[in-house]
Amino acid sequence: MREGCSVMVNEIAALSGNVSMDELYELTTAYAAIDAVSGHEQELVRRLRDDLAPMVDDVFVDQFGNIAATCYGVDRDTSLMIAAHSDEIGCLVKSIEANGMLRIAPVGGVSELLLVGRHVRVGGRRGVIGNKAGHISSPEERRTAPRIRDLYVDLGFDNAAEVHEAGISVGDSVTYDQPVVRLANANRIAGKAVDNRIACAMIVLLARALAGHSLPATVHFVVTVQEEVGLRGARMITHRLQPSAAIAVDTMPAGGTPDVSDTQDLTMRIGHGPVITLASQSGGGGALAQPGMVRFLDHCADLAGVATQRGLFYGGNSDAAAMHLVGAGLPVGILNIARRYSHSPAEMLDLNDAIGAFAMLIAAALTFTRDTDLSFLGADQA
């Protein structure tokens, strides 16, 4: 190994080692405990802004809640954006009935199957989603999930006046009331909003690890809003920052369970390393990996000594699908952490995968320059 490369490998290892698995778990848990349904990310954005501010040269929050925290590099005009989204799926209060029950409407990819009988928070106040007693349910009702329009939230009140007195209003957010916990295998965690609070924690810890460090190019640590409802914040902030390249950091569904085929559905597995995603697709939109950014992420993995997976994400997207369409086209890499039980109150992932992704992001920030080859053909074929 060349001396310069050896020095870089040692530097990446030293900076990556400043973050422990326990620290990553604790910060993820703290962020997941802050409810942030799409369009209602204010409290989490405020916390993330405050956590990032002491470690960067500049930070701002735009009018929709996107955060951009910047560390200027030796080359201020070349920039790498590393981005995660802050929002989570959930519901909104649609109406308040005379008997105090709340009708709800979904925000993002909410499944009726996962709502019935759940503990929830409405504007931070605890309630449950009611369900008809099995004793009086028909056989058909016991076999099927009610439509969201037929569900209701019970806060324990008996009339609408009590609901209003508690400060609950139409438009308030509804989230799962399920903390992130460590499982019997302590390397693995599960809870609500693991998608994408794990990456929010990584962004903050990355900024801390690189604070005061000389970077070859400018790095924007970005947290976007409204990813779960159409990647909206990513488009806004990418247009504003106009970075040279970007890495979208997110989670993605994984196989490895009895109900998922490892060959026909999802090949990615938790605990097998971070995923360099090559394609995503949902509806009419998606992203096909830009070859230069795939090469760059592979190089970062090599420098960090991280084993990675490669995967396709059909049926879903990440902010990369919006970012790469900005301006004349932006080279975007997609770095995912595999997780089980997507969009449920028990999203599960392996912290080792996140630690590996973190080391790759350290390598990216330390090595990205205006000379990084992001060409479509590659330098040896241009």
Residue 152 token pair: 């209701």
Residue 377 domain-assigned (yes or no)? no
Q: Check whether residue 155 and residue 134 sit in a common domain.
A: yes
Task: Quote the pLDDT of residue 142.
Answer: 63
Residue 155 domain-assigned (yes or no)? yes
Residue that is last in its domain, among 176, 211, 245: 176
Task: Quote the pLDDT of residue 4.
Answer: 59
Q: Quote the CA–CA distance of 239 and 233 in Å, as a whole number.
A: 10
Q: What is the domain-level CATH number for residue 136?
A: 2.40.30.40
Residue that is last in its domain, among 117, 150, 176: 176
Q: Quote the CA–CA distance of 240 and 238 in Å, as a whole number.
A: 5
The pTM of this model reads: 0.94
Q: Check whether residue 355 and residue 211 sit in a common domain.
A: yes
Q: Check whether residue 42 and residue 113 sit in a common domain.
A: no
Residue 301 domain-assigned (yes or no)? yes
Q: Is 227 a catalytic residue?
A: yes
Q: Check whether residue 156 and residue 244 sit in a common domain.
A: no
Structural domain span for residue 272? 3-88+192-367
Task: Quote the pLDDT of residue 18.
Answer: 85
Residue 211 domain-assigned (yes or no)? yes
Q: Check whether residue 123 and residue 220 sit in a common domain.
A: no
Residue that is last in its domain, among 135, 151, 176: 176
Q: Check whether residue 342 and residue 321 sit in a common domain.
A: yes
Task: Quote the pLDDT of residue 382.
Answer: 43
Q: Check whether residue 222 and residue 258 sit in a common domain.
A: yes
Residue 81 token pair: 């954006």
Q: Check whether residue 197 and residue 124 sit in a common domain.
A: no
List, as one string, the DSSP characters of 115-178.
TTT-EEEETTEEEEE----GGG--HHHHHSPPPGGG--EE-S-SSHHHHHHTT--TT-EEEE--
- For the chain, how many structural domains are there in total? 2
Task: Quote the pLDDT of residue 283.
Answer: 65
Q: Report CA 284 to chain centroid distance, whole Å.
A: 21
Give the orientation angle of helix 351-367 with respect to helix 3-16, to 10 degrees: 130
Q: Tell me what percent of the chain is helix, strand and coil, each rounded to the nearest 5.
A: 35, 25, 40
Q: Check whether residue 72 and residue 8 sit in a common domain.
A: yes
Residue 94 domain-assigned (yes or no)? yes
Residue 100 domain-assigned (yes or no)? yes
Residue pLDDT tens, the chain, 382 long: 455 577 789 999 999 988 999 999 999 999 999 999 999 999 999 999 999 999 999 999 999 999 999 999 999 999 999 999 999 999 999 999 999 999 999 999 999 889 999 999 999 999 999 987 656 656 665 667 788 999 999 999 999 999 999 999 999 999 999 999 999 999 999 999 999 999 999 999 999 999 999 999 999 999 999 999 999 999 999 999 999 999 999 999 999 998 888 877 888 999 999 999 999 887 668 999 999 999 999 999 999 999 999 999 888 889 999 999 999 999 999 999 999 999 999 999 999 999 999 999 999 999 999 999 999 998 665 4
Active-site entry in 88, 227, 228, 347: 227
Q: Check whether residue 227 and residue 165 sit in a common domain.
A: no
Q: Check whether residue 213 and residue 277 sit in a common domain.
A: yes
Residue 117 domain-assigned (yes or no)? yes
